[in-house]
Structure 1
Amino acid sequence: MNKSFLHTVVLLTAYDPPGPLNYVFFILCLLMFVLTLSANLLLILVIHSDSNLHKPMYILLLNLALNGLVGSCAVCPAIMENLLRDQQLISYGGCLLQVLCVNVYATCAYAILAVMAYDRYISICKPLEYHSIITPCKVQVLVTLSYCVPVTLLSVQVYLTSRLPLCTFTINKLFCDNLAVVKLSCVQSAFVNLYGLFITVSLVLFPFLLVLVSYMKILSVSWKASVESKRKALSTCIPHLIIFINFSISILFSVLYNRTSAVSAHVNHLNSVQFIFIPPLLHPLVYGIRMKDIRRSIAKTLKCILTR
């Protein structure tokens, strides 16, 4: 980081002054945060402790839950604190750390959802070859890449952003993101913009196309199958699509807000809140509760806890 900005603070201007409405939002955020932590930790505990759930799809769900905890813990406590403060200040270093955590949360979730789409494609389109293609070793490699590639590329991006000189110190957002921080700079760096485009293509567009192709093939195969097979395919794929589409829309709104005036500030703030609070809570609910094996294991785990 540029040492001249080491002790610089950034002002987040999206918050209203402290008042009754802020306290209501604080309580709602706290409730959502506690529910998110509880649901994801329970899902992680259940999948980790039940050997019957040590299968590719459930391992991917466990990692999606872990990633949801990263996103929630990186932003939610800061939002709740800012709702109660007179001035919403954050150190420049803290702002860059928040950028890294938010981007890692979003892109790792995108990567894991892409791997899940690939898993569903093999399961539905090549069921007889599933266990020979989706091996534990391959799942481990794909999950590792889903973390390592985004973390490495995004760490470089945040480093490049930290080298830019600053001219302004206010961000009209609830929390920091990379495009907003880049816009604080006095200069436009062609290399930083080019690298940002590379990040978008490799960590957003590529997984999006992978999911799109997977589901086109799934639909093609399901269309020719029996009614029961179609029902099972839809039951398996719709929850995944709902969450993937939600992530895609959130990322699109964020890019449009930072790059153009096509999205109003209020719409972007609402989008930011749902992007951080809703997906990490929906993941364990949409996936976990709908799957019979996980429901059965949750009931067994809760029974053991309550009878102790």
Structure 2
Amino acid sequence: MLQTKLRMTRNSSQVLYFTLSAYVETGSLKYFSFIIVLFLYVLIVGSNILLIVVICVNRSLHEPMYIFLCSLFVNELYGSSGLFPFMLLQILSDVHIISAPHCFLQIFCIFTYGSVEFSNLAVMSYDRYVAICRPLQYNSLMTPQRIIFLLSITWLQSFFFVGVTILLSSSLQLCGYVINKIYCDNHSIIKLSCNDATVNNIYEFVMLILAVFVPLSVILYTYMKIFKVCFSGSKQTRQKAVSTCTPHLSSIINFSFGVCFEIIQSRFNRNQISGILRTIFPLYYLTSQPLLNPFLYGLNLSKIRFLCKKFVLRKV
């Protein structure tokens, strides 16, 4: 088996396949697990596509807040598609392996998903800050050109930084092929390196700061300003701020917890964590947002809720 996974050369080891050891053997329950995961994936795809279509076809929703929401839902589809189709195949399979190119492609999809999610939430918090704290300047600040610029930065910088990560990791000489997760993870690849991976660790740390802590700092700053205005404003101002910011804050807190669990789990010895937890933590990180956000925004924002009902009833 080892010979099929490791091709030995004179100076290095070229890994052709990785083994994902976190998959728990469920025996006869694997078909039940397959149905549950398939149901979650269909629910994610259906709910996010519905909201994307509703926002795109209704001109009344062609406003900055809803355009950023549309970008968020597109990212949910992108991120969940990086895991669920592969996971469905792995559940039915008796051998949990993944080819090296597919592994690095999965790392790229999952890492860009997380980076875009945080950046998109930061852009949305800036939009709420301008709308609540500087309402008279909103139209002059949130122009179509500014919206395109913010969305371009959100997506392109994530693709660039993660692309550099993949180039650095794919050039490593590896001395193992077992990844203790249900999907490929960059830090797990670095741990398998035969030689010094200091450059990879430093770059991964820098990227973590740029992708997580910088957006969270922007979010924290904008909400400090928003809360200051709310507490000093009228009751009507507070109610309006709460109705528009509650879904956004809930989404930020939920995703931050998911990322925190994932980072902690990746940095510690996963052999001491049970197989069930090694499966649940990544699933929470990759499914909580795509499942929660459509219902958070669909149920809390009355304009979207009304147009969704109208769209579905018209189709029925």
For normalisation by structure 1, the TM-score amounts to: 0.94
* Pair 1:102-2:88 in alignment: no
2:3 corresponds to: none
Closer, same or farther: CA 96–119 of 1 in aligned 2, 3 Å: same
Q: 1:188 aligns with which of 174, 196, 200?
A: 196
More deviation in 269-278 or 161-170? Answer: 269-278
CA distance in 2, matches of 1:242, 1:22: 33
1:38 aligns with 2:41: no
For the pair 1:14 / 2:25, whether they are aligned, the reply is no
Do 1:76 and 1:276's aligned partners in 2 also have CA atoms closer than 8 Å? no
**Counterpart residue number, 1:26:** 34
Q: Secondary structure at the match of 1:167?
A: coil
1:236-267 deviations in Å (ceiling 9; x for gaps) = 11211111112212222222222234983543
Cross-structure match for 1:292: 302
Say which of 85, 89, 92 aligns to 1:84: 92
SS in 2 for 1:10: strand
What's the offset of the Cα at 1:7?
A: 6.6
Aligned to 2:175: 167
Q: Work out the percentage of aligned pairs sharing the same amino acid.
A: 35
CA distance in 2, matches of 1:211, 1:31: 33
Aligned residue for 2:83, secondary structure, equals helix
Within-5 A mapping of 1:129-208 = 129-208=137-216
Helix, strand or coil: the match of 2:82? Answer: helix
Question: What is the total number of aligned residue pairs between the two structures?
Answer: 304
Q: CA RMSD in A?
A: 1.8
Deviations 1:203-229, CA, capped at 9 Å, x for gaps: 111001000111111111111122232
Which one-letter code corresponds to 1:264 in the other structure?
I
Q: CA deviation at 1:23?
A: 2.4
Q: Say which SS state the counterpart of residue 16 (structure 1) adopts.
A: coil
1:296 offset after TM fit, Å? 2.1
Structure 2 regions of 5+ residues with no counterpart?
1-6
User: Do the aligned partners of 1:174 and 1:269 also contact (CA within 8 Å) in 2?
Assistant: yes
Instruction: Please report how far the alpha carbon of residue 9 of structure 1 lies from its aligned counterpart in structure 2 after TM superposition.
Output: 0.7
Distance 2:269 2:222 in 1: 34
Shift of 1:303: 2.8
Shift of 1:30: 0.6
> Quick one: structure 1 residues 188 and 247, their matched pair in 2 at CA, closer, same or farther if it must change by over 3 Å?
farther
1:71 is paired with a residue whose SS is: helix
Once structures 1 and 2 are overlaid, which stretch shifts more, 3-12 or 67-76?
A: 3-12
The counterpart of 1:47, out of the listed 55, 75, 98, is 55
Shift of residue 288 of structure 1? 2.3
**Helix, strand or coil for the counterpart of 1:90?**
strand
Find 1:273's aligned residue among 268, 283, 302.
Answer: 283
Distance in 2 (alpha carbons) for counterparts of 1:26 and 1:237:
36
Q: Contact between 2:55 and 2:66, CA under 8 Å: does it hold in 1? A: yes
- Tell me the secondary structure at the aligned position of residue 19 of structure 2: strand
SS at match of 1:289: helix
Preserved CA contact (<8 Å) 2:190 2:197:
no
The one of 230, 237, 259 equivalent to 2:238 is 230
Residue type matched to 1:282 in 2?
Answer: L
The 1:55–1:196 alpha-carbon spacing in structure 2 relative to 1, beyond 3 Å, is: same
- 1:127 maps onto 2:135 in alignment: yes
- 1:268 and 1:232 map into 2 onto residues whose CA distance is 41
> Which of 263, 278, 292 is residue 255 of structure 1 equivalent to?
263
Structure-2 separation of matches of 1:149 and 1:299: 36
Structure 2 length as normaliser, TM-score? Answer: 0.91
Q: Hey, what's the Cα distance between the residues in 2 that align with 1:294 and 1:250?
A: 26
- Distance, in Å, in 2 between the alignment partners of 1:202 and 1:161 is 18
Separation (CA, whole Å) in 2 of partners of 1:299 and 1:83: 35
